[in-house]
């Protein structure tokens, strides 16, 4: 199996723990389903959040998916003027037999505008 990095992003409706949980669970669920990944395929998951998010950690939302054995980490995204607000980005590192061109990167809830070239 090969090691692959899978990108994704989502935009929260509001800066609340509930909105974070809903958006992150939806995003990761789509990434896992579209790329046919199981928890055992995962190596690690790296999240960033825009500086306007203060309510919760994306990793806390991800842990509701039974990812307790998978290393998760969060960081703050760069504070760029005019950037899309309330965005959580993710990079999933996983084992996969797919080639780079077969990987499906998932962008949801307004975040499609971040990567129109690869957004599913």
Residue ranges of domains in the chain, CATH in brackets: 2-114 (3.30.1330.40)
Q: How confident is the model at residue 115 (pLDDT cuts 50, 70, 90)?
A: low
Ranges assigned E (strand) in 1-120: 2-11, 42-49, 72-76, 87-96, 106-107
pLDDT value for 118: 54
Mean pLDDT of 21-43: 96
pLDDT in tens, 64-100: 998 889 999 999 999 989 889 999 999 999 999 998 8
**58 CB-side CA count, 13 A:** 32
Residues 30 and 24: their CA atoms lie apart, in Å, by 10
Q: How confident is the model at residue 111 (pLDDT cuts 50, 70, 90)?
A: confident
pLDDT value for 83: 87
Q: What does DSSP say about strands 106-107 and 87-96: parallel, antiparallel, or unpaired?
A: unpaired
pLDDT value for 53: 96
List the one residue out of 104, 115, 73, 88 whose CA is nearest residue 6.
104
């Amino acid at each position: 199996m090969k090691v692959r990095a899978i990108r994704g992003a989502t935009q929260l409706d509001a800066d609340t723990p509930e909105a974070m949980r809903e958006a992150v669970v939806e995003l990761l669920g789509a990434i896992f389903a579209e790329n046919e990944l199981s928890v055992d395929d995962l190596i690690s998951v790296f999240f960033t959040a825009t500086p306007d998010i203060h309510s919760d950690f994306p990793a806390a939302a991800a842990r509701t998916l039974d990812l307790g054995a998978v290393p998760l980490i969060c960081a703050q995204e760069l504070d760029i003027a005019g950037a899309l607000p309330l965005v959580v980005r993710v990079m999933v590192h996983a084992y996969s037999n797919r080639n780079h061109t077969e990987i499906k990167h998932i962008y949801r809830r307004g975040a499609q505008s971040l990567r129109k070239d690869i957004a599913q």
